[in-house]
Amino acid sequence: MRLRQLGAMNLSVSPIGIGLAALGRPGYINLGHADDLERIYDVAAMEARAHRVLDAAYQGGVRYFDAARSYGRGEAFLGSWLASRGLAPGDVTVGSKWGYVYTADWQVTAELHEVKEHSLEVLQRQWGESQALLGAHLDLYQIHSATLESGVLTNTAVLDELARLKSTGVAIGLTVSGPRQAAVIEQALETRIDGEPLFACVQATWNLLERSAGVAMARAHAAGMGVIVKEVLANGCLTERNAAPDFADKMAALHAEAARLETTIDGLALAGVLAQPWASVVLSGAARIEHLVSNLQALDVAWDAEADAKLAHLAESAEAYWSRRSDLRWN
Ligand SMILES: NC(=O)c1ccc[n+]([C@@H]2O[C@H](COP(=O)([O-])OP(=O)(O)OC[C@H]3O[C@@H](n4cnc5c(N)ncnc54)[C@H](OP(=O)(O)O)[C@@H]3O)[C@@H](O)[C@H]2O)c1
């Protein structure tokens, strides 16, 4: 994969990156997650699985790795992989996130899997924890799922602390979620400390079903921010796995275009995101090597105007998308 610069930062990334949301903890919302992990939750076994998938990603040319404090042992697995493979800071680009606290205690089912708290106390504590696990490898530190409601973008104590971290050389970013991603991105674009833009990178959900943040992501890119795209397979809904009867018509359209472009459903869905000129990195969330390899084939798909036209009707309202996502079962 040809590397590119992440926004205006001196960080090089691959067009496809990998995220550890499904690799770092027993429970997650992706369709079929329990099957993916073969219901083997022994810590050493899950670490070995994560390392095998990370090896396959590295061999496939992936050079951006995305973790978070709330992904259970995701940062620890990534840290031990970097060390055991002899990778030095700068050999790959590493991003992580603060603001969600993992509360599932290594269980698949839990009353609460993660608790969001965008406070100064959590930032300082989690920065220390991320540093201990990733050290000098940690290039990008992102607010996890910033929303207008969390108030983090008007919390001056937090913003000042982020500016202090930025002055130590780590790039500062944010991830957004929910039906109002675009409004949060717009507010982030206006967020300055001492006249300087604070945020160098935004991570947002964009896929063939949820396109509402596209204009704001393009504005962020034009303003020199890095743009990382997450949930590009809609947590598995844009894969062969989605047998939901009310999705059958859309699945038929996906199949027809995948056949025409000689690819798979996930390859097609990923290619549709790679085709967005403002996408710096498109994240694979694969927890199985064969899924990762299938995802990487999206690089060879010749997405075109016909695919754009034939699949435009898949787009749904942000409210509908996020309401269905919130019904996805942790498994
Ligand atoms: N708020 C945030 O900041 C936030 C939120 C969500 C995600 N993210 C980031 O984005 C990354 C990716 O997102 P995501 O994992 O949530 O969702 P996603 O990429 O939309 O979906 C991944 C799911 O699709 C499945 N899949 C992939 N290729 C497949 C194939 N060929 N056939 C069948 N199934 C296939 C995967 O199954 P397998 O697991 O079996 O491979 C996995 O269940 C995360 O790891 C994380 O780094 C960030």
For residue range 75-115, what is the model confidence (pLDDT) as tens digits? 999 999 999 999 999 999 999 999 999 999 999 999 999 99
- Helix axis angle for 74-84 and 43-59, nearest 10°, is 60
- Ligand 1 contact, 265 CB (< 6 A): no
Give the residue, out of 16, 235, 281, 326, with the most ligand 1 atoms within 8 A of its beta carbon, to mutate for a pocket test: 235
* Burial grade of 248 (CB within 10 A; 0-12, 13-18, 19 or more): exposed
Ligand 1 atom with the shortest distance to the CA of 286 = 41
> So what's the pLDDT on residue 35?
84
CB 123 within 8 A of CB 161: yes
For residue range 252-280, what is the model confidence (pLDDT) as tens digits? 999 999 999 999 999 999 999 999 999 99
For residue range 185-202, what is the model confidence (pLDDT) as tens digits? 999 999 999 999 999 999
- Ligand 1 contact, 57 CB (< 6 A): no
- Ligand 1 contact, 325 CB (< 6 A): no
The dotted CATH code for 4-326 is: 3.20.20.100
> How do the residues of the chain divide into helix, strand and coil, expressed in percent and rounded to 5?
45, 15, 40
* Burial grade of 194 (CB within 10 A; 0-12, 13-18, 19 or more): exposed
Q: Report the predicted TM-score, pTM, of the whole model to 2 decimal places.
A: 0.97
Query: From the CA of 167, how far away is ligand 1's center (Å)?
Result: 32
Give the side-chain half-sphere CA count within 13 A for 178.
Answer: 13
> So what's the pLDDT on residue 31?
78
Nearest CA to ligand 1 atom 23: 236
- Ligand 1 contact, 95 CB (< 6 A): no
Nearest CA to ligand 1 atom 37: 286
Mean pLDDT, rounded, for 134-161: 97
The set of residues, in sequence order, having a beta carbon less than 8 Å from that of 11 and lying 6+ positions away, is 5, 93, 139, 140, 171, 226
CB 52 within 8 A of CB 59: no
Scanning the chain, the segments in alpha helix (DSSP H) are 33-36, 43-59, 74-84, 120-134, 156-167, 181-189, 214-222, 248-260, 265-274, 289-296, 305-311, 318-326
For residue range 205-233, what is the model confidence (pLDDT) as tens digits? 999 999 999 999 999 999 999 999 999 99
Q: Which residues of 141-165 are buried (b: 16+ CB within 10 A; e: fewer)?
A: bbbbbbbeebebbebeebbeebbeb
Per-residue pLDDT for 330 more than 90?
A: no
Mean pLDDT, rounded, for 243-258: 96
The set of residues, in sequence order, having a beta carbon less than 8 Å from that of 231 and lying 6+ positions away, is 205, 207, 210, 283, 285
Comparison of pLDDT for 32 and 245, the residue scoring more: 245
CB 243 within 8 A of CB 272: no
Query: From the CA of 74, how far away is ligand 1's center (Å)?
Result: 14
CB 24 within 8 A of CB 77: yes
Mean pLDDT, rounded, for 45-66: 98
CB 19 within 8 A of CB 52: no
